[in-house]
């Protein structure tokens, strides 16, 4: 986890992890809400996955997301990964624009399973980029 703190507490943060070379098993007991997300992760094998990138609204537009993604690239390279991956909600246009500016492109998408969840998300979108 990486946190941006301007001496008043955290204003932005990043978490992520490496995805191995073997897909995670999706058994019958796998929660349906998370199934499409895991299916997409399974298409991003051998990548460093940006799990969460967030900042408070009042600190947006200051380049913190871009800087955190650069740190993520360094972490991934240091860990031996050549590919980055992230899943975004299709309606999160700002996030997708940021990732595309940083070199990510769409690899695949999967329908969002809502099960009563109040969201405008129709699809989860898997974005990847090469570090080489």
Predicted local confidence at residue 118, as pLDDT: 84
CATH number at residue 28: 3.40.630.30
User: What does the CA dihedral 11, 100, 51, 24 come to, rounded to 10 degrees?
Assistant: 180
The residue assigned the tokens 């992890």 is 17
Provide the whole-model pTM: 0.91
When divided into structural domains, the chain yields a total of 1
Structure tokens at 123: 């699809």
Nearest partner of 41 among 53, 54, 16, 24, judged by Cα: 24
The answer on pLDDT for 2 being more than 70 is no
Query: Which pLDDT score is estimated for 64?
Result: 87
Sheet of strand 2-5: strand arrangement: 2-5, 10-19, 47-55, 83-89, 123-130, 105-111
Q: What is the pLDDT of residues 17-68, one digit of tens each?
A: 999 999 999 999 999 889 999 999 999 999 999 999 988 888 778 888 899 9
Domain that holds residue 77: 2-130
Q: For residue 43, what are its two tokens?
A: 């298409």
Report pLDDT digits (tens) over 83-121. 999 999 999 999 999 999 999 999 999 999 887 778 889
């Amino acid at each position: 986890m990486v946190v941006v703190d301007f001496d008043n507490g955290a204003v932005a943060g990043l978490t992520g992890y490496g995805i191995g070379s073997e897909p995670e098993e999706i058994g019958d007991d796998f929660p349906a809400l998370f199934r499409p997300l895991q299916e997409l992760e399974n298409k991003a094998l051998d990548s460093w996955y940006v799990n969460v990138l967030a900042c408070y609204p009042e600190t947006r537009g200051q380049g913190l997301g871009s800087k955190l993604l650069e740190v993520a690239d360094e972490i991934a390279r240091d860990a031996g990964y050549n590919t980055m991956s992230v899943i975004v909600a299709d309606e999160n246009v700002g996030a997708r624009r940021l990732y595309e500016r940083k070199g990510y492109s769409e690899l695949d998408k999967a329908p969002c399973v809502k099960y009563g969840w109040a969201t405008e998300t129709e699809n989860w979108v898997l974005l990847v980029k090469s570090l080489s």
